[in-house]
């Protein structure tokens, strides 16, 4: 393929050299003449292991060159990768002036180009940027229509500086956000021969994925450092603790607990977090990340309450009382807060949980329920069907298998609020309306 690469920084240089190595004809464009001259001389403008050799090879074979002329580069290629910087403004917001500038230049070049061209944004930009801000610039500057005269895609870059070439050839995954299938096909062709899971998604999803990655990486670093600091205050080697932590690939380093859903609760997480954060205070350790967890969880419970209030009926049914499916443990269940708040605000609440019912419970749990939550016991329905018959808003609050066919039982006018993702793909086949807490 003939490819132009706009912006010859870390991302642009690595992409240019690797694509040329793969046999594509690549022209790199930058506003900085020194970078253009260095590439012309077969040298890398950035320090990156192995890059000098790849650039020298690309230039020697004639598959890689660089220019200051965006218009010519767009005219002689089929696809442009935008790799310019997206720094922070002083207030933390995203500075889009380079991406906007380059989109305008590409648009102006497209105005006088007859052939179809695909514009691919590789720079990291927030969800909505490509479709709401860059697409209008491209269309206005070119006088042409996306999907007809040119294609559009968002293809986030996941490379890490210092291992960028290795990352290019074995990425964790390739994510292609596509305006339409034709654009996505062209971008997919760039990665022929690279063995990695490939996801073709909407443009905003691709934009978001990159921020999620970076936020999570930052979270991991901060988590390890806060835990290490707590360990040090106890004369424990935090490296050894985290080594053991990382051995657990079932619950710790795994997809477990990484599915958006309802708040955490139960007899361990809230209690143990409280004890740990109290201890950090006692030892004068600043651990803002650990300290923020319970607060963030409370905000999430508030989101659930807000959704029920927005549903605009006072008749509410809650399916699930224990903090997760298949247990009768209601200690610190976030559903209890939800129910108590709604009752306090004048809602008529019914509750069903197959495992939590005074007639079926025995021992400590029965005692706890009758002693601590007698007001909730009186709200309990005997069957799901009884509950559904009485309410307008149905809240699925834990992932019990018994609730799976509830969406199909809804009648016209009922609202389903899904706090756990029991409905995988909402397809409007249900009678009632549907809303998920974080999807």
Summarize as ranges the residues that interact with ligand NAD (CB under 6 A): 6-12, 29-32, 35, 83-86, 98, 101-102, 105, 123-124, 157, 159, 161
The residue (of 109 and 307) whose beta carbon lies closer to ligand NAD is: 109
Strands (E), 194-252: 198-201
DSSP string across 16-54: HHHHHHTT-EEEEE-S-HHHHHHHHTT--SS--TTHHHH
Q: Report, in Å, the least distance between residue 40 CB and ligand NAD.
A: 15
Which residue is associated with the tokens 């393929």?
1
- Burial (0-12, 13-18, 19+ Cβ within 10 Å), 185: middle
The residue (of 42 and 101) whose beta carbon lies closer to ligand NAD is: 101
Work out the angle at residue 270's Cα, subtended by the Cα atoms of residues 269 and 276, and round it to the nearest 5 degrees.
85
Spatial contact of 154 and 121, defined as CB atoms under 8 Å apart = yes
Give the whole-angstrom CA distance, residue 99 versus residue 133. 10
Query: What residues contact residue 404 under an 8 Å CB cut-off, 6+ apart?
Result: 422
Q: Report, in Å, the least distance between residue 179 CB and ligand NAD.
A: 19
Angle between helix 51-61 and 33-40 (nearest 10) = 70
Give the whole-angstrom CA distance, residue 321 versus residue 356. 7
The residue at minimum Cβ distance from ligand NAD is 9
The residue (of 32 and 172) whose beta carbon lies closer to ligand NAD is: 32
The residue (of 7 and 436) whose beta carbon lies closer to ligand NAD is: 7
The residue (of 120 and 396) whose beta carbon lies closer to ligand NAD is: 120
Q: Pseudo-torsion of CA 17, 20, 26, 30, nearest 10°?
A: 0
Beta-sheet pairing, 174-178 with 150-154: antiparallel
The residue (of 86 and 291) whose beta carbon lies closer to ligand NAD is: 86
Question: Can you give the C-alpha Rg of the chain in angstroms?
Answer: 28
**Given 18, 83, 231, 268, which residue is catalytic?**
268
Q: Report, in Å, the least distance between residue 159 CB and ligand NAD.
A: 5
Q: Report, in Å, the least distance between residue 39 CB and ligand NAD.
A: 11
Token pair, residue 294, equals 């319970």
Q: Report, in Å, the least distance between residue 116 CB and ligand NAD.
A: 22
Give the whole-angstrom CA distance, residue 186 versus residue 191. 10
The residue (of 71 and 348) whose beta carbon lies closer to ligand NAD is: 71
Q: Report, in Å, the least distance between residue 308 CB and ligand NAD.
A: 39
Give the whole-angstrom CA distance, residue 199 versus residue 311. 35
Give the whole-angstrom CA distance, residue 173 versus residue 364. 49
Q: Report, in Å, the least distance between residue 90 CB and ligand NAD.
A: 17
Q: Which helix (H) or strand (E) holds 247?
A: helix 238-247
CB atoms near residue 129 (< 10 Å): 22
**268: annotated active-site residue:** yes
Residues involved in catalysis:
268
């Amino acid at each position: 393929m003939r490819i132009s690469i706009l912006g010859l920084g870390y991302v642009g240089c690595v992409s240019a050299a690797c694509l040329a190595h793969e046999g594509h004809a690549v022209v790199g464009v930058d506003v900085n003449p020194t970078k253009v001259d260095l590439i012309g001389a077969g040298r890398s403008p950035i320090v990156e292991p192995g890059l000098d050799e790849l650039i020298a090879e690309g230039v020697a074979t004639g598959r890689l060159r660089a220019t200051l002329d965006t218009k010519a580069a767009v005219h002689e290629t089929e696809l442009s990768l935008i790799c310019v910087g997206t720094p922070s403004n002083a207030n933390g917001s995203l500075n889009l002036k380079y991406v906007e500038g380059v989109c305008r230049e590409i648009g102006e070049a497209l105005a006088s180009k007859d052939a179809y061209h695909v514009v691919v944004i590789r720079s990291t930009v927030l969800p909505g940027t490509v479709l709401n801000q860059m697409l209008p610039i491209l269309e206005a500057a070119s006088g042409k229509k996306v999907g007809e005269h040119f294609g559009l895609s968002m293809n986030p870059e996941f490379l890490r500086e210092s291992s960028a070439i290795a990352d290019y050839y074995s990425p964790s995954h390739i994510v292609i956000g596509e305006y339409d299938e034709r654009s996505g096909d062209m971008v997919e062709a760039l990665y022929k021969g690279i063995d990695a899971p490939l996801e073709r998604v909407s443009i905003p999803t691709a934009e978001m994925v990159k921020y999620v990655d970076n936020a999570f990486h930052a979270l991991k670093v901060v988590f390890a450092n806060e835990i290490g600091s707590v360990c040090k205050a106890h004369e424990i080697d935090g490296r050894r603790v985290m080594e053991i932590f990382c051995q657990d690939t079932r619950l710790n380093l795994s997809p477990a607990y990484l599915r958006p859903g309802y708040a955490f609760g139960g007899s361990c997480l809230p209690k143990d977090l409280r004890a740990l954060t109290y201890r950090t205070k006692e030892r004068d350790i600043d651990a803002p990340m650990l300290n923020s967890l319970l607060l963030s969880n409370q905000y999430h419970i508030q989101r659930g309450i807000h959704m029920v209030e927005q549903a605009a009926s006072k008749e509410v049914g809650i399916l699930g009382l224990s903090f997760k499916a298949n247990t009768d443990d209601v200690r610190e269940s976030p559903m209890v807060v939800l129910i108590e708040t709604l009752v306090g605000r004048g809602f008529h609440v019914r509750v069903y949980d197959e495992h939590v019912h005074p007639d079926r419970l025995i021992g400590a749990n029965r005692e706890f329920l009758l002693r601590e939550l007698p007001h909730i016991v009186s709200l309990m329905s005997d069957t799901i069907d009884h509950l559904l018959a009485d309410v307008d808003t149905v809240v699925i609050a834990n992932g019990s298998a018994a609730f799976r066919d509830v969406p199909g039982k809804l009648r016209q006018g009922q609202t389903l609020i899904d706090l756990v993702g029991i409905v995988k793909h909402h397809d409007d086949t249900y009678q009632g309306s549907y809303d998920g807490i974080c999807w």
